[in-house]
């Protein structure tokens, strides 16, 4: 454990709680019971931070540990963090601060509503503001976002360069100069990452085939920075939020469709606090509404055994489990199989909460990557396609199937699978 041991625990012969001597004869079996008292400073240090109050609620039932994805490859979970703090760990200085992916599986089962999705960003922000250790890769992603408007550090003016690979018109709302029904927020990874671009191009073709009146923001689009917020950079998030809301409100549109679940979470759940309340949906929810029109377009059979990975920020955080499955089931030839951990209990890919930019750091504190664990689980179903619906996941899982010797499993976005069925294998 990093950091100086500040808390101490003392053994006592007697302890009086609410006026009752709990070390009394009625409360021991054969001999004087050892009473241990801990100093609560390091727990309070976290629980005193705004939004992190629930850290102190933990009553050590350990339900969370059983579902924490990090515990599967390491030693983790809110219960353990509480216990570490009780026995001397200053969370703001410990490597444990950076391991939580804010996947929210612990919150789902915790009887005391200990909420890591709020605790972690608060504790991380405190560490950042105090100039404590911040993993170098994460720092780079923050700096890239501030400088270039995206965590990859790609130039802003190339944000719409991907359009060329779509082969169909992708209108920019500024050039269009009129109201559209759908503003499609493409996202940083679909705009710049080669595998993300594949999904963006597929989405463009699907929207065109369905005759959707859409446009994108093009060079005006900037990162949502939600994962940067969860990784502790609230100031950066707020700066991006102000810029984004201004851009979004510059144009007339009825509904926003986002490629990524993290953007959905930002725009739908967090932006209202900053005054932006307009309809936002994930592409899977949006396309599921068009199933009747979509089905006749899915002409080519995709003979694949597919397993679907629930993104934490689409599933647990936003309650969308069925739309992605409906889309996959609509593709002729597809056999859909489930992994053992699915839907509400889906296993995190490790990319959330800034994990996307901390892989080398996390690797030092876990036995394997979360994405690798999940890739192995996917392979064990016998599937030859791992379908995803989050732009973080394609690159993560593509690496993970390779590093775990499961190259035979193709990692494809649902958009790419729909596109394949529409156009046939290209």
Where does this chain touch ligand SF4 (CB under 6 A) — which range of 57-65, 197-205, 241-249, 271-279?
A: 57-65
The answer to whether residue 112 forms part of the interface with ligand SF4 (CB under 6 A) is yes
The answer to whether residue 131 forms part of the interface with another protein (CB under 8 A) is yes
The Cα 222–Cα 199 span in angstroms is 18
The answer to whether residue 106 forms part of the interface with ligand SF4 (CB under 6 A) is yes
Q: Are strands 253-258 and 280-282 parallel, antiparallel or unpaired?
A: parallel
The Cα 297–Cα 424 span in angstroms is 11
Find where tokens 């976290």 sit: 46
The answer to whether residue 104 forms part of the interface with ligand SF4 (CB under 6 A) is yes
The answer to whether residue 371 forms part of the interface with ligand SF4 (CB under 6 A) is no
The answer to whether residue 66 forms part of the interface with ligand SF4 (CB under 6 A) is no
Binders of another protein: how many residues, by CB under 8 A? 26
Alpha helices in 265-344 (DSSP H): 283-288, 291-294, 322-329
The Cα 230–Cα 232 span in angstroms is 5
Where does this chain touch ligand SF4 (CB under 6 A) — which range of 76-84, 140-148, 315-323, 379-387?
A: 76-84
Please provide the DSSP assignment of 15-47 as one string: -EETTEETTSGGG-SSSPPPEEEE--HHHHHHH
Question: What is the 3-state secondary structure of 104-155?
Answer: CHHHHHCCCCCCHHHHHHHHHHHHHHCCCCCCHHHHHHHHHHHHHCCCCCCC
Task: Give the Cβ contact number of residue 344 at 10 Å.
Answer: 14
Q: Which CB atom, from 196 or from 351, has the smaller least distance to ligand SF4?
A: 351
The answer to whether residue 190 forms part of the interface with ligand SF4 (CB under 6 A) is no
Q: Which CB atom, from 67 or from 409, has the smaller least distance to ligand SF4?
A: 67
Two tokens, residue 226: 């939600």
Q: Which of residues 194-253 bind another protein (CB under 8 A)?
A: 233-236, 238-239
Q: Which CB atom, from 76 or from 253, has the smaller least distance to ligand SF4?
A: 76
Backbone torsion region of residue 131, taken as left when φ is above 0, otherwise alpha when ψ lies between -120 and 50, otherwise beta: left
Where does this chain touch another protein (CB under 8 A) — which range of 58-66, 81-89, 143-151, 179-187?
A: 143-151
Q: Please, are residues 118 and 52 in contact by the beta-carbon 8 Å criterion?
A: yes
The Cα 331–Cα 329 span in angstroms is 5
The answer to whether residue 101 forms part of the interface with ligand SF4 (CB under 6 A) is yes
The answer to whether residue 103 forms part of the interface with ligand SF4 (CB under 6 A) is yes
Select from another protein, ligand SF4, none the partner in contact with residue 42, using the beta carbon and a kind-dependent cut-off of 5 to 8 Å: none
24: CB partners within 8 A, 6+ apart: none
Taking CB under 8 A as the rule, which mask of x and - marks residues 8-47 in contact with another protein?
----------------------------------------
The answer to whether residue 63 forms part of the interface with ligand SF4 (CB under 6 A) is yes
The answer to whether residue 128 forms part of the interface with another protein (CB under 8 A) is yes
Contacting residue, 1, 2, 20, 61, with ligand SF4 by CB under 6 A? 61
The answer to whether residue 402 forms part of the interface with another protein (CB under 8 A) is yes
Indicate the burial class of 368 (C-beta count within 10 angstroms; 0-12, 13-18, 19 or more). middle
The Cα 392–Cα 196 span in angstroms is 8
Q: Smallest distance, Å, CB 70 to another protein?
A: 24
Q: Please, are residues 253 and 183 in contact by the beta-carbon 8 Å criterion?
A: yes
Q: Which CB atom, from 63 or from 174, has the smaller least distance to another protein?
A: 174
Binders of ligand SF4: how many residues, by CB under 6 A? 28
> Where does this chain bind another protein (CB under 8 A)?
125, 128-129, 131, 134, 136, 139, 142-143, 146-148, 153-158, 233-236, 238-239, 402, 407
> Where does this chain bind ligand SF4 (CB under 6 A)?
58-64, 67-70, 76-79, 100-106, 109-112, 114, 116
């Amino acid at each position: 454990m990093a950091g100086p041991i500040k808390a101490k625990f003392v053994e006592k012969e007697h302890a009086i709680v609410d006026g009752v001597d709990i070390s009394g004869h009625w409360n021991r079996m054969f001999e004087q019971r050892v009473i241990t008292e801990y100093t609560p400073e390091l727990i309070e240090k976290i629980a005193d931070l705004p939004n992190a109050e629930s850290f102190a609620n933990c009553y050590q039932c350990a339900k969370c540990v059983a579902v924490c994805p990090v515990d599967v490859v390491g030693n983790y979970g809110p219960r353990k963090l509480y216990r570490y703090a009780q026995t001397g760990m200053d969370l703001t200085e410990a490597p444990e601060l950076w391991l939580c992916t804010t996947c929210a599986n612990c919150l789902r089962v915790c009887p005391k509503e200990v909420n890591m999705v709020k605790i972690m960003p608060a504790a991380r922000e405190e560490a950042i503001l105090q100039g404590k250790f911040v993993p170098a890769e994460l720092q780079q992603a923050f700096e890239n976002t501030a400088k270039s408007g995206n965590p990859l550090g790609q130039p802003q003016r190339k944000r719409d360069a991907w359009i060329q690979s779509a082969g169909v018109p992708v209108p920019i709302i500024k050039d269009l100069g009129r109201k559209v029904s759908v503003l499609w927020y493409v996202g940083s990874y679909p705009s710049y990452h080669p595998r993300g671009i594949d999904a963006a191009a597929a989405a463009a073709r699907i929207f065109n085939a369905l005759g959707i009146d859409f446009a994108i923001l093009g060079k005006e689009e900037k990162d949502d920075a939600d994962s940067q917020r969860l990784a502790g950079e609230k100031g950066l998030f707020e700066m991006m939020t102000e810029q984004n809301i201004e851009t979004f409100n510059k144009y007339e549109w009825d509904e926003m469709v986002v490629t990524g679940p993290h953007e959905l979470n930002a725009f739908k759940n967090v932006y209202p606090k900053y005054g932006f309340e307009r309809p936002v949906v994930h592409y899977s929810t949006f396309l599921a509404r068009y199933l009747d029109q979509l089905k006749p377009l899915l002409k080519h059979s995709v003979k694949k055994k597919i397993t679907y990975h629930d993104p934490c920020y689409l599933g647990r955080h936003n309650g969308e489990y069925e739309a992605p499955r409906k889309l996959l089931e609509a593709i002729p030839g597809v056999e859909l199989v489930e992994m053992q951990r699915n839907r509400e209990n889906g296993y995190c890919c490790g990319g959330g909460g800034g994990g996307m930019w901390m892989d080398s750091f996390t690797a030092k504190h876990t036995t394997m990557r979360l994405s690798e664990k999940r890739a192995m689980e996917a392979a064990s179903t016998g599937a030859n396609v791992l379908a995803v619906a989050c732009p973080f996941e394609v690159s993560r899982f593509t690496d993970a199937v390779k590093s775990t010797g499961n190259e035979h499993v193709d990692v494809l976005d649902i958009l790419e699978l729909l596109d394949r069925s529409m156009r046939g294998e290209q």
